[in-house]
Amino acid sequence: MPMIDSPQNAQVKLYRSLLSGKGRRQSGLCPLEGVRLIETALDSGADLRTVYVCPDLVRGPRVPELIDRLRDRGAEILELSQRAFISMADTEQPQGLAATAAIRYERLENLSSTSPACYLWLYELREPGNLGTMLRTAAAFSVAAVVFAGDCTDPYSPKAIRASAGAVFAVPLVRASWDRAMQWATAESVQTVASTPSANLSCHEAGYAQRVALIVGSEAHGLPEHLLTATDLQVKIPMSSKVESLNAGVAAGILLYTIVSADNRSGPDRPDTGCDGEK
């Protein structure tokens, strides 16, 4: 296939359309840009459809092998000129490699019933950077699924995908109404846990069930009172009186670590929660 040079090429226009929510909803695809992000998506089992390569921009010894792996997976490989690639790129310094991947959501009833398990529920979370951070944290702590209850920002938006470092493909995602999620939790004996500064119990002192759903509300308002009182357990993160609140992504990370490392929840799938993070 000849190199694509026109920014008006149909494939280039398709990729650009995925930068908007409307384009993603209509196509069922999301955009990925950058070598490491595409590597992570591939390693996580993402269904990669089309790969865009700009020979004038792409760098690094890993790229040829990555392209071979993508081709072996059945992805379509397209070569673009620099002007065509830059016309669709969403980053300030394009690396010359982009791809489209299928958007996927699981169904609540199809989630595994294994124990122990920790689920992360997000309620009306609006900030894609926070959402991506939470997805990355969820993957790090082997969260069984992330459930979007209520009107949350799109986890497949470019900003959320970048903030997740590709973890959006590593954790099962579920969309459900609040009522449906609560019905499922009751039927599956999943303890629902919410964090609120008004709670009497510290997150470090609480007792957690073998199957727990941690619920995080919106950045500005948290969980509404009527939803908060419907949960099985409310906890707070102890902190200095000099600080009014924590960023939602930071709070979620502290709470997930506390839950999965609790002594009463040890099991074969418990993640390593040592301090050997990235260096």
Asked if residue 183 belongs to a domain, the reply is: yes
Instruction: Tell me what pLDDT residue 274 has.
Output: 42
Residues 135 and 248 in one domain: yes
Instruction: Tell me what pLDDT residue 233 has.
Output: 95
Instruction: Tell me what pLDDT residue 92 has.
Output: 87
Percentage above 70 pLDDT, the chain: 94
Asked if residue 3 belongs to a domain, the reply is: no
Number of domains in the chain: 2
Residues 113 and 95 in one domain: no
Using CB atoms within 10 A of its CB, is residue 69 exposed (0-12), middle (13-18) or buried (19+)? middle
pTM, entire model = 0.89
Instruction: Tell me what pLDDT residue 266 has.
Output: 42
Asked if residue 276 belongs to a domain, the reply is: no
pLDDT tens digits, one per residue of 168-205: 999 999 999 999 999 999 999 999 999 888 899 999 99
For the residues of 85-109, what is the DSSP string, one character each?
HHHH--SSS--SEEEEEE---B-GG
The CA-based angle 115-117-122, given to 5 degrees, is 150
Residues 20 and 123 in one domain: no
Which range is least confidently modeled, 69-73, 106-110, 218-222, 223-227? 218-222
Alpha-carbon gap, residue 217 to 72, rounded angstroms? 41
Q: Which of 102, 130, 146 is the last residue of a domain?
A: 102
Q: Contact at 8 Å (CB) between 52 and 15?
A: yes
CA distances from 253 to 78, 135, 176, 200 (A): 39, 10, 22, 20
pLDDT tens digits, one per residue of 210-269: 999 999 988 777 888 999 999 999 999 988 888 877 888 899 999 999 999 886 554 334
Q: Which of 68, 102, 136 is the last residue of a domain?
A: 102
Alpha-carbon gap, residue 87 to 214, rounded angstroms? 41
Using CB atoms within 10 A of its CB, is residue 91 exposed (0-12), middle (13-18) or buried (19+)? exposed
Nearest 5°: phi and psi at 99?
-160, 160
Instruction: Tell me what pLDDT residue 221 has.
Output: 78
Q: Any idea what the CATH number is for the domain that residue 249 is in?
A: 3.40.1280.10
Residues 231 and 253 in one domain: yes
Q: What is the mean pLDDT of residues 111-116?
A: 82
Which domain covers residue 142, as residue numbers? 108-264
Asked if residue 5 belongs to a domain, the reply is: no
Residues 239 and 119 in one domain: yes
Residues 77 and 126 in one domain: no
Instruction: Tell me what pLDDT residue 170 has.
Output: 95
